[in-house]
Amino acid sequence: MATSFKQAVHKNLECPVCLSFFKEPKNLTCSHTFCKGCLETLLESCGKLLCPTCREETWVPGGDVGRLQSNRTVRSLVEDVETQGQFGSNSNQENESFQRKRNKCRKHPNYDEECFCLNCNKYVCCKCGILEHAKNAHTILEAGEHETDQNNRVEKLASKADAKIRNVDKYFTFVEDQRKRVHNIQKRLNGEIDAAFEESVEKLKKRKTVLKKEVEHKLGKLKTSLGDVEKQICKQIDQIKKVLELVKNGLNFPHQTEGLTSHEAMCQQLEELLNRFRPDEELPRRTAEEGERIGFRSHGSDELRLGHLRQKKSKWLLRTEAPLPPGNSMSGMVISPNNEMAVGCQNGGIVIYSYEGIKEGTVLKSVEVRALHFMPDGGYVIRDTNNSISLYTELCEKLDVTFETIKGEYGGLTVGKDGLIFIGYSLSQKIQVFKPEGGKQ
């Protein structure tokens, strides 16, 4: 009697889907009851809610299973049974024994539901299977065979799922490794960019220093020249003021013969000073114009040379005739990028003249020049009497560069706009072309 009571309780308080006590039981339109969680799973997998028992569709308001009507009676019975503890720790084992025992057919109470209809997807007794389902050409299996097939199918799917999960885990690990790889590449490239940036900044700083030194070198000479003129003018004005004061004071003394003679001499001296003081307005103007012709041209952001100083174009006019140093002979002459004229001397040195024809000085006095030219940046290229090629900066600092020239022959020298150096030879009638970096042609 107690066993029958337990069977009745389990039969009426178990969810047909999960075969466990109902959890939040919900009624369908067909009056069948199932767990809320089981119905949510069915709705999610099928897209609509079909009763697992009779296949009748139930409309779910807003797609929320929780809004279906709750079966309060079943929920209360489940809570009472769980509270009273009539089924202890062995309840799961009893459930399994009840699951294995077949239910009786409702139409034929004397027959167990030992068959399963694949078309109707439900258990039936053998009599229903023969009289109803087989008659409609349904496929009927023994319940045990169907359950074995289902277990095998579930095991197969579980194995397949486990294999897929392992493969996905491996793929996830692979993707993670590749992401870390890309991150490391990004980190490395950022480091290289930072290093290149710092290196470029240092180069720009050095180039800025060189340019400012060039400005100081070029304009400093002009400022010194004008400063010398200012000193000379101040000196002459002071002399005129001093003699003028003496002349004025001479009028206050008695007009004696000696005093008149001295005063007359002072007047003549003042007259000579006034006649001698003829300011050369042309020289300061030309000097300032020479400074204005020095400009700066930026190379933009494509190069790290920052820019270079350049001399604006002007028309050469011979204004003075400044001779070369005594005992020296001219071996070459070339116009610099700053529009200065450089004259090479075979006995040593390069004499620099401004575009006004004013001699500015002599550089590289110890270098015996046979031919010379200027690099685009204003540096010197010199072919000496030993047929050696040397490069110097605009500030006359020798660069550590060597050129493998043909020994024993002489000829010309010129430089292209791109900095290539062309060396000519008269005997072999050859021309060598060198890059500024030196080496072989």
Secondary structure percentages of the chain, helix, strand, coil, to 5: 45, 20, 35
239 and 357 part of one domain? no
263 and 341 part of one domain? no
CATH code: domain of residue 22: 3.30.40.10
CATH code: domain of residue 357: 2.120.10.30
3-state DSSP assignment of residue 383: strand
Contact 13, 77 (CB under 8 A): yes
231 and 344 part of one domain? no
- Which of 237, 269, 284 is a domain's end point? 284
In the prediction, which pLDDT does 111 show?
Answer: 86
pLDDT for 53-105, tens place per residue? 888 989 888 888 888 898 888 888 888 777 766 444 444 444 444 344 678 88
- Unique residue bearing structure tokens 């031919």: 371
Mean pLDDT lowest for which of 129-133, 184-188, 379-383?
129-133
- Unique residue bearing structure tokens 């309780």: 9
Hey, how many other C-beta atoms are within 10 angstroms of the C-beta on 71?
Answer: 20
The pair of structure tokens assigned to 76 is 């209360």
In the structure, what pLDDT confidence band is assigned to residue 166 with cuts at 50, 70 and 90?
A: very high
323 and 422 part of one domain? yes
- Mean residue pLDDT of the chain comes to 81
Is pLDDT of 392 > 90?
yes
Between 357 and 205, the more confident residue is 205
In the structure, what pLDDT confidence band is assigned to residue 155 with cuts at 50, 70 and 90?
A: very high
Between 66 and 317, the more confident residue is 66
Structural domain for 44, as ranges: 1-101
41 and 83 part of one domain? yes
The pair of structure tokens assigned to 289 is 């114009």
387 and 328 part of one domain? yes
83 and 182 part of one domain? no
Is pLDDT of 143 > 70?
yes
231 and 332 part of one domain? no
Contact 372, 382 (CB under 8 A): yes
In the structure, what pLDDT confidence band is assigned to residue 439 with cuts at 50, 70 and 90?
A: low
What is the DSSP code string of 302-371? S-SS-EEEEEPP--------PPPPTT--EEEEEE-TTS-EEEEETTS-EEEE-TTS-EEEEE-TT--EEE
Is 309 inside any structural domain? no
Is pLDDT of 380 > 90?
yes
Is 145 inside any structural domain? no
In the structure, what pLDDT confidence band is assigned to residue 311 with cuts at 50, 70 and 90?
A: low
Q: Which residues contact 277 (CB under 8 A, 6 or more apart)?
A: 236, 240
111 sits in which H/E element? none
**DSSP classification of residue 376:** T
The residue type at 352: I
Is 340 inside any structural domain? yes
Which ranges in 113-142 belong to alpha helices (H)? 126-128
Least Cα distance to 78 among 128, 31, 10 occurs for 10
Of the chain, the end-to-end C-alpha distance in Å amounts to 115
- Which of 101, 132, 161 is a domain's end point? 101
In the prediction, which pLDDT does 198 show?
Answer: 92
Is 440 inside any structural domain? no
345 and 223 part of one domain? no
Is pLDDT of 238 > 70?
yes
**DSSP classification of residue 55:** -
pLDDT for 184-218, tens place per residue? 999 998 999 899 899 889 988 998 999 899 889 88
Is pLDDT of 431 > 50?
yes
Task: Average the pLDDT over 239-261 and give the result.
Answer: 73
CA atoms in the 13 A half-sphere facing the CB of 83: 6
Least Cα distance to 20 among 111, 105, 81, 83 occurs for 81
Q: Which residues contact 340 (CB under 8 A, 6 or more apart)?
A: 311, 352, 353, 354, 355, 360
In the structure, what pLDDT confidence band is assigned to residue 308 with cuts at 50, 70 and 90?
A: low
In the prediction, which pLDDT does 372 show?
Answer: 92
In the prediction, which pLDDT does 377 show?
Answer: 84
Q: Which residues contact 366 (CB under 8 A, 6 or more apart)?
A: 348, 349
Contact 142, 117 (CB under 8 A): no
Is 302 inside any structural domain? no
344 and 411 part of one domain? yes
Is 397 inside any structural domain? yes
In the prediction, which pLDDT does 101 show?
Answer: 65
The residue type at 296: F
Is 147 inside any structural domain? no
167 and 268 part of one domain? yes
Is 136 inside any structural domain? no
Between CA 32 and CA 36, with CA 34 as vertex, the angle to 5 degrees is 135
In the prediction, which pLDDT does 251 show?
Answer: 67
In the prediction, which pLDDT does 381 show?
Answer: 94
154-to-144, 297, 366 alpha-carbon distances in Å: 15, 81, 100
Is pLDDT of 346 > 90?
no
Between 301 and 153, the more confident residue is 153
The pair of structure tokens assigned to 223 is 């400022």
pLDDT for 273-296, tens place per residue? 787 777 777 778 888 888 887 777
Give the Cα separation of 57 and 70 in Å (integer). Answer: 17
417-to-281, 293, 311, 389 alpha-carbon distances in Å: 38, 21, 16, 18
Look at the pTM and tell me if it is higher than 0.75: no
Task: Average the pLDDT over 422-438 and give the result.
Answer: 88
Name the most confidently modeled range: 321-325, 337-341, 421-425: 421-425
Q: Which residues contact 296 (CB under 8 A, 6 or more apart)?
A: 211, 307, 308, 309, 310
160 sits in which H/E element? helix 143-250
410-to-208, 368, 384 alpha-carbon distances in Å: 38, 14, 10
- Which of 80, 101, 122 is a domain's end point? 101
Give the Cα separation of 292 and 274 in Å (integer). Answer: 33
Q: How many domains does the chain have?
A: 3
Is pLDDT of 407 > 70?
yes
169 and 72 part of one domain? no
Task: Average the pLDDT over 141-163 and give the result.
Answer: 90
The pair of structure tokens assigned to 438 is 């030196």
